[in-house]
Amino acid sequence: MKRRALISVSDKKGVVEFAQALVELGFEVVSTGGTFKTIKSAGVEVKYVTEITGFPEILDGRVKTLHPKVHGGILARRTPDHLEQLKDNDITPIDVVAVNLYPFRETIAKAGVTFEEAIENIDIGGPAMVRASAKNHASVTIVVNPDRYDGIVAELKEKGVVSAETRRQLALEAFAHTAEYDSAIAAYLKGQCEGLKDKEAECEDCGLAIFAEGTVEKVQDLRYGENPHQKAAFYKEVAYQGAGAGTAKQLWGKELSFNNLLDLNAALELVREFDDPAVTIIKHNNPCGTAIAGTLEEAYIKAFDADPVSAFGGITACNRPVDVATAQELVKTFMEAVIAPSYEAEALEVLKTKKNLRIMEVGSLEGAAPSYDLKKIRGGFLLQDGDYGQIKAEDLKVVTERTPSEEELRDLLFAWKVVKHVKSNAIVVAKDGVAIGVGAGQMNRVGSAHIALEQARGTAIGTEKEASPDLDSWLSKGAVLASDAFFPFKDTVEMAAKYGIAAIIQPGGSVRDEESIEACNRLGLTMVFTAMRHFKH
């Protein structure tokens, strides 16, 4: 009896040569639809699937291979009992299955694609055959990747069979193929659910769809991880579409490192908070300088001047296309990378004078789909919504006798956006749209405040000069302070007042809130509560 192979592929690469090689090796090739036409038109001997099922395609091609003569041939163990059942039902075993699936991701990526078009590109028969073949890989060779054809043919020519080890590897690839496919569909449908106007029709439990966002494909191996003794690789979410560090295009410079990618992500997420031209410089996942201004060049200069020592070797992000003036400022110091929506042609040439500078382009920051935050722990992982909470002026609760001025209010909201992107415990000091002091990752809040206030004091006086011991003469008196979580004690307020801080923004919610409020009133500060915290671990 001839061995049988079933071929039904969306990706036609190499399929004619593969079918021809199988025929020459004594296989009977069975196929469907466009694959059948491709193989037949090349002059290769092939049977249409209806010839073996004795049943026509129905429902506009939705049902072609969903038939016992297909799935019985795939799923049968090569045992006497199963083979006898095949014989009784006139079913021929299928030994090789080559299937890859309708291009769902490519379909939904097309501009103007309708929901109905997307649904019609959900493959049913293909995944069923792939999974059945992979389950029965002890007897069946399943091929979902055209790059595997040559190796399979080589094994068949050399040994007459495909080895058990190869079949198991191919089964793994097959299940990964269908998992990725189903995840892309789940993520798409979740997006459709979230877009429904009828809130009652929304999914209350999209757990599977949420997990689908984590489905990834390997992009590249990295030189190493956080440290040279750690191996690392970069994977991207297959379903995510939009601007992000994971989808950015590298235009120039050295290969990206593990730490580069982490910092690029942190930098981009911060500047997308702002409507005004904004620039941030990131070191070790924390912003050492952030500013908004009337122009991108001005924002960069202010962000850099806030902490030029830490800025050296940093990652810079811009929320506007980079112009020539900004590029000329950028190349004045050593930066590891810059990321922005786009670059003027002349600006790009200026940046390319730094041969190792990694230049990343992400496209428009508007309308990017929200993503999820995943953190790995030993033996599992934690998954949560991204921290996309926004606070507007009308959301703030003034809890002190004095109300913030318009200038203070603008700086409070600016500082609140920045502190969200600083590792907890986090304190940010800001003035005139510039983060002039950042305290990050301390074990107590007053420690973070001390770091931020001292840095702000040094920024105001000038890093080239000795800090004045007279705090009342501090040049940035009137700055504001943001805290990512509530004050457990009044000590931070009292310290802030000594450094000339005029206004404070914090979530509130401590059992000692009244002590902090009383201290503000006594010392002449204004304080507002957000009722929202921004822990970042």
Q: Which of 47, 135, 236, 477 is catalytic?
A: 135
d(CA 147, CA 8): 16
Helices 68-75 and 80-88: crossing angle in degrees, nearest 10, is 170
**Contacts of 415-418 spanning 24+ positions with Cβ under 8 A:** 415/480, 415/481, 415/482, 415/505, 416/391, 416/482, 416/505, 416/530, 416/534, 417/270, 417/273, 417/274, 418/270, 418/273, 418/280, 418/287, 418/290, 418/482
E strands within 410-476? 427-431, 434-439
- According to DSSP, residue 432 is labeled T
Tokens read off for 86: 């095949």
d(CA 117, CA 188): 13
**Residue 135: active-site member:** yes
Name residues whose C-beta falls within 8 Å of residue 117's C-beta, 6 or more positions apart in sequence.
Answer: 107
**Residue 199: active-site member:** no
Angular region, 475: left φ>0, alpha ψ -120 to 50, beta rest: alpha
Of the candidates 313, 264, 262, 318, which has an alpha carbon nearest to the alpha carbon of residue 290?
318
CA contacts within 13 A on the Cβ side of 240:
22
Tokens read off for 304: 């850099």
Report the 3 state secondary structure along 186-250.
HHHHHHHHHCCCCHHHCCCCCHHHHHHCCCEEEEEEECCCCCCCCCEEEEEECCCCCCCCCCCEE
d(CA 469, CA 425): 27
CB 111 within 8 A of CB 96: no
- State which amino acid sits at residue 232: A
Q: Which of 40, 82, 236, 284 is catalytic?
A: 284
Catalytic residues: 135, 284
